[in-house]
Structure 1
Amino acid sequence: MRAGALLIAALAWVAFPVLTAVAGDGFDLSPEQPGRIHTKKNETAATAIPADFKFVAPGKFTVAVAPGGPPLATYATDARTVVGADPEYASAIAESLGLQLELVPVAWIDWPLGLASGKYDAVISNVGVTEERKEKFDFSTYRQGLHRFFVKSDSPVTSIKEPKDAAGLRIIVGAGTNQERILVKWSEENVAAGLKPIELQYYDDEAASLLALRSGRADVIVQPHAQLVFIAARDKNIKRVGTLSAGWPDRSDVAITTRKGSGLADALTVATNGLIEDGAYARILERWQLDEEALPRSETNPPGLPKFN
């Protein structure tokens, strides 16, 4: 059943944006950000910046971020300041490099052209590593790409770990997303095994999706982990029953994105590993309730999701 397909780019991992800066329990969406995690300059990372690399603005690290919704990135309660896990991580990277952060809010779909044309030095906005993107950009990983299965609090569904657990369930998913591609494969596997197919449902926005879940018209919703963590804290009427890697059956990572061959990626990888080693990385993720997405180590241009026909 389709109630209006969502026009979301494949692998974008951005669905159902929250359009207002409403603080959910445990999240600080104030423009002042008194709890922001800070760090000191990492000399090793700073010296890894190529001598001939020209920043968009001298002395500044100019980063594009798409304020699509908390806890990753959203407008603060002043409706002007962009806050969230990605802006805070960008701030820590800038401090590691000894630079001032300059955030540039962009529409998610616009970042590739803006980065390629030199409007900003990097993109830190939940960009997944794919083999197709690696042809044009370099990557420094900083989080795992995870999706979650959530159900209403009193649902009889208690665990979804593999395709058979989802057999016969009505699952809300974004059209054109990576999670849709994976669930189509899961459903095909179930049918081949003599089990019921998965019924995928599509809705125009977050409110319609959550209403369908609460009213019993759907059994499960699957979205990027970060978005559902915020919704669960805000609404207190849904619970997590499973995890789905964006690269199922393999791991898939989210990364800082830079221009191909610019030489900046290695320095950003060093900076991220410095944040991991000194504990700032873990504190940032914990502050935004994303600690389950932590990586043990940052990598430059790791294997990405394959090209799909």
Structure 2
Amino acid sequence: MTDQPVFRPFLMAALVSTLALFSTAARADDTAFGLSPEQPARLRAEKNDAAIAAISPDFKFVTPGKFTVAVSPGGPPLATYATDAKTVVGADPDYASAIADSLGLELELLPVAWIDWPLGLTSRKYDAVISNVGVTEQRKEKFDFSTYRQGLHGFFVKSGSPITAIKEPKDAAGLRFIVGAGTNQERILLRWSDEDVAAGLKPLELQYYDDEAASLLAVSSGRADVIVQPHAQLVFIAARDHNIKRVGTLSAGWPDRSDVAIATKKDSGLADALTIATNGLITSGVYGRILDHWHLSEEALPQSETNPPGLPRS
């Protein structure tokens, strides 16, 4: 996530209000997610000696014996407040817990406003940020990254729609898309539309709405064919409302892959250890089970990398 428009697909809070989250929490509990503060389904991981050995001798945890992680509770299934309105739960907290286990540490989660994480990380208020942060070349100047998910947008249509798959520009020709103005999704869809026109196909029609409710109503009523938003958010809505379905995903870095990563302070000496820990979770299967529990298996990475190529400067 970022305050720059081109990277707005990572900003979950911009599309889901806090009040809406609380009002839908009980309904969400009827799905496979489960938003209770106890999180009985949370997976634990074994200690990873190789990851521990990779921590720089110069690195000092904010609190000895604890892995202090900042997370922004911007929306389910990534991170949100539980039904007690104070405990942060979701895929990112579960992943943070598994990383803490791997390092032999106790997890301490700190809820923060998403816009505040860079300053908090550079000022050593926490050891790491695990909050759907996308890797960008600009951010790599100040932070190190250990990847743990793909950054995806989702193509969702109403249940019963004749549209079954959207994988490339030609699949989108002539369709009516709901997309956020100034977002990375919009930029990509405009390029798709140009490609379709150049190939003699119909252009895409982009529609813009002021809020999520109006967008979903437009899809369900047939005024629009497809809604494009951050994949994780639409996964939750589909599980909650049962009236939209996924017909494809789109990399935030299209045509290249764009990854989500743990952010740590530049050259702090922790990033390689977190990458090793993540790869250990992938090998053990814990990683896959966490993503599957939160309906995010499409976002799985084959392996974690330290500081891979990121989205270019806008």
TMscore range, shorter length: over 0.9
Residue 75 of structure 2: aligned partner? 69
Letter in 2 for 1:150: F
Residue in structure 2 matched with residue 31 of structure 1 by the alignment: 37
| Pairing 1:17–2:16 present | yes
Aligned to 1:201: 207
SS at 2:233 equivalent: helix
Residue 287 of structure 1 aligns with which residue?
A: 293
Structure 1 stretch displaced more, 12-21 or 217-226: 12-21
**How many Å separate the matches in 2 of 1:90 and 1:39?**
11
**CA distance in 2 between partners of 1:176 and 1:127 (Å):** 19
1:236-264 deviation per Cα after TM superposition (whole angstroms, max 9, x unaligned): 11111122111111111111011111111
Counterpart of 1:229 (choices 218, 228, 235) is: 235
What's the offset of the Cα at 1:191?
2.4
Alignment of 1:265-276 (within 5 A): 265-276=271-282
Equivalent residue, structure 1, for 2:147: 141
User: Structure 1 residues 176, 118: closer, same or farther in 2, change over 3 A?
Assistant: farther
User: What amino acid sits opposite 1:199 in the alignment?
Assistant: E
Q: Partner of 1:85 in structure 2? A: 91
The answer to whether structure 1 residue 242 and structure 2 residue 248 are counterparts is yes
Aligned amino acid, residue 72 of structure 1: L
Moved more, 120-129 or 190-199: 190-199
Q: Deviations over 1:132-187 (max 9, x none)?
A: 11111110000111211011112232221111221222211122322121111111
Secondary structure at 2:132 match in 1: coil
Tell me how far apart the structure 1 counterparts of residues 247 and 124 of structure 2 sit (CA, whole Å). Answer: 42
The one of 140, 155, 162 aligned to 2:161: 155
Query: More deviation in 226-235 or 107-116?
Result: 107-116
Determine the structure 1 residue equivalent to 2:113: 107
Give the Å deviation of 1:63: 0.8
Of 94, 116, 123, 2:122 maps to: 116
Quote the Cα distance in structure 1 between the aligned partners of 2:124 and 2:267. Answer: 13
User: How far off its partner does 1:92 sit?
Assistant: 0.7
Kindly provide the CA deviation profile for residues 268-308 of structure 1, in whole angstroms up to 9, marking residues without a partner as x. Answer: 00111111111111111111111121111111001111222
Instruction: Give the Å deviation of 1:94.
Output: 0.8
1:187 aligns with 2:186: no
Sort the Cα spacing of 1:18 and 1:37 in 2 relative to 1 into closer, same or farther, 3 A. farther
SS of residue in 1 equivalent to 2:190: helix
TM-score calculated relative to the size of structure 1: 0.93
Tell me, yes or no, if the aligned pair for 1:8 and 1:176 is still in contact at 8 Å: no
Matched, 1:296 2:302: yes
* Structure 2 Cα separation of the partners of residues 241 and 114 of structure 1: 38
Residue 14 of structure 1 aligns to which amino acid in structure 2?
L
- In structure 1, distance between residues paired with 2:283 and 2:163: 39
Deviation at 1:18, TM superposition (A): 5.3
Q: Distance in 1 between matches of 2:231 and 2:94?
A: 18
Distance in 1, matches of 2:143 and 2:7, equals 15
Q: Flag structure 1 segments of 5+ consecutive residues without an equivalent.
A: 1-6
TM-score scaled by length of structure 2: 0.92
The one-character-per-residue Cα deviations of 1:210-255 (angstroms, maximum 9, x if unpaired) are: 1111122211101122111111111111111122111111111111
Question: How many angstroms apart in 1 are the aligned matches of 2:299 and 2:53?
Answer: 28
The answer to whether the 8 Å contact 1:8/1:14 transfers is no
Q: Could you give the per-residue CA deviations for residues 184-209 of structure 1, whole angstroms, max 9, x where no partner exists?
A: 11112222233322222222222121
- Matches of 1:170 and 1:44, distance apart in 2: 50
Q: Are the aligned partners of 2:58 and 2:269 in contact in 1 as well (CA < 8 Å)?
A: no
Q: Which runs of 4+ in 1 moved over 4 A?
A: none
Deviations 1:53-107 (A, max 9, x none): 1222221111111111111000000000000000010011011111111111112
Q: CA deviation at 1:8?
A: 7.3
Residue type of the partner of 1:303?
A: P
Task: From the two aligned structures, give the one with the greater helix fraction.
Answer: 2
Question: How far off its partner does 1:34 sit?
Answer: 0.5
Residue of 243, 260, 267 corresponding to 2:266: 260
